[in-house]
Structure 1
Amino acid sequence: MTDLFISDLHLSPDRPATLELFIDFLAGRARQASRLYILGDLFDSWIGDDDDSPFNRRVTEALRALTESGVRCDLMHGNRDFLLGRRFRRGTGCRPLPDPTLASFAEKPTLLMHGDLLCTDDLAYQRFRKRVRNPLAQRLFLFKSLASRRALADEYRRRSREAMADKAPEIMDVNPDAVVRYLRRFGARHLIHGHTHRPRDHEVLVGGAEAKRSVLAEWSEQGGEILTHCDGVWQREPVTAS
């Protein structure tokens, strides 16, 4: 049986081709798997499960069709959609996947993360992350009207783009020491994450032992990529429009 791993689709009404790519993927390639792991940032923003827009309903219905077909889907929060909640999971049949999660594939301990926790050199972002993940801050945000939340989300994305433009690229990448710390802490020999949009497989030394770090790709209107695992074999597959 095959496991599939994706992240960073950043689904948004502004990117209709990416949505169609994802819908086709769920109705096609994903149906051949036993399990789909979405490691964060499925949406470019998520302002609450009560946002029942036609766009969100299409995604919900497509995921529900996948899980009802017998494919298990585990969903991790990203830095853009950390407000995905129980109502969304009930509507889709997706199961919550904590960040980080230790799993096992072919008896090899594997750590699954979104990836933003590894970017410890970006101090401003880590402070922001801590603030917005506070349960009280989230409750206060969700208490606002949909219109207010939508405006705040738009403002956050604007500020995020400006901040990223001013940061050195290496600051927004993972910190190597943080990678080793997490691998050692969980006793893992393989780390899979997204967030950085720098798809590649890296060799890592943890206490003299070899480990591996697999970075998932961002999806765009031109295409995407999935990481697959079957019988101990890991491969990357392109996802293109049909």
Structure 2
Amino acid sequence: MSTLFISDIHLCAQNSATTASFLHFLRNRALDAQALYILGDLFETWIGDDDPNPLHHEISVALQILGQRCIPCYFIHGNRDFLLGKRYAITCGMTLLSAPQVMQLDGLSVVILHGDTLCTDDSEYQNFRRLVHQRWRQRLFLSLPLPLRLRIANRMRAKSLHVNAIKTYDIMDVNTQAVMTLMAHTGAKVMIHGHTHLPAIHRLPGARCRVVLGAWHRHGSVIEVTATSVKLCEFSVKTTDYS
């Protein structure tokens, strides 16, 4: 059996194809897994566990099936759903993990994270990230009425799209030194992350590798880790055919 890793599904009510693909994945491929790790940005936006969005309920019901089949599901926050809390995680049967998380898979040391903290060249984003991860700011935001939270989130999303459109890929990609420093600190041989939407397997010095998950837009991706291999699989969101 393999351990599966996914990231950057970016679920939202406006994209039914991605939702259908993810539900198909949960009801089929994920049921053969030893465990499932979701490395952030499961949802495009998250304004609080009290949001009555029907999509959230639909996804939680689908994730509960994994627990019923004794397949553990773990979640690391992304930059879009960093406010996802214990209340929603419990309804899904997910275990929240801090990042970076170091784990042993069949004797292989693996470090997992969303990946945004590795993009150290993007100083503007890192400054913004530090602000929104301040607990008092989060508590203040979550205390606001839901309609106001939604307006704020939509405004911030629109600004993010505008700012990112004029940034270069080099700035928004991970910093090589940040990657090597984290791997040296953790002793991991394999790093798995998402966020950049640039799926690939990068070979690194010291027999290490960095495996990057893609976003579930036109193509989705999943990383399968077994006792003998680390495999990045891509598939069409429309057909959900795995390769």
TM range (shorter): over 0.9
- SS at 1:84's partner residue? coil
- What are the equivalent positions in structure 2 for 1:46-195 lying under 5 Å apart? 46-195=46-195
Structure 1 CA distance, aligned partners of 2:97 and 2:68?
Answer: 19
1:217 aligns with 214
Given residue 219 of structure 2, which amino acid in structure 1 is its aligned partner? G
Given residue 211 of structure 1, which amino acid in structure 2 is its aligned partner? R
Given residue 3 of structure 1, which amino acid in structure 2 is its aligned partner? T
Structure 2 CA distance, aligned partners of 1:58 and 1:239?
Answer: 22
Asked whether the 8 Å contact 2:200–2:232 carries over to 1, the reply is no
Structure 2 CA distance, aligned partners of 1:3 and 1:52?
Answer: 31
In the alignment, structure 2 segments of 5+ residues that lack a partner are none
Asked whether the 8 Å contact 1:18–1:223 carries over to 2, the reply is no
How far apart are 1:89 and its partner, in Å?
Answer: 1.0
2:225 corresponds to which of 218, 224, 229: 229
Structure 2 CA distance, aligned partners of 1:147 and 1:35?
Answer: 36
Q: Deviations over 1:88-121 (max 9, x none)?
A: 1110100012110001122121110100010000
Q: How many residues align?
A: 238
Asked whether the 8 Å contact 1:74–1:96 carries over to 2, the reply is yes
Calculate the TM-score normalised by the size of structure 2.
Answer: 0.95
Given residue 16 of structure 1, which amino acid in structure 2 is its aligned partner? S
Structure 2 CA distance, aligned partners of 1:130 and 1:238?
Answer: 33
In the alignment, structure 1 segments of 5+ residues that lack a partner are none
Q: Deviations over 1:57-116 (max 9, x none)?
A: 111111112222211100010000000101111101000121100011221211101000
- SS at 1:80's partner residue? coil
Calculate the TM-score normalised by the size of structure 1.
Answer: 0.95
Give the 4+ runs in structure 1 shifted more than 3 A: none
Structure 1 CA distance, aligned partners of 2:64 and 2:153?
Answer: 26
Structure 2 CA distance, aligned partners of 1:71 and 1:234?
Answer: 20
Q: CA RMSD in A?
A: 1.1
1:8 aligns with 8
Asked whether the 8 Å contact 1:105–1:232 carries over to 2, the reply is no
Structure 2 CA distance, aligned partners of 1:234 and 1:185?
Answer: 21
2:25 aligns with 25
Structure 1 CA distance, aligned partners of 2:110 and 2:146?
Answer: 38
Asked whether the 8 Å contact 2:220–2:234 carries over to 1, the reply is yes
How far apart are 1:210 and its partner, in Å?
Answer: 2.5
Asked whether the 8 Å contact 1:111–1:192 carries over to 2, the reply is yes
Structure 1 CA distance, aligned partners of 2:216 and 2:230?
Answer: 19
Asked whether the 8 Å contact 1:74–1:94 carries over to 2, the reply is yes
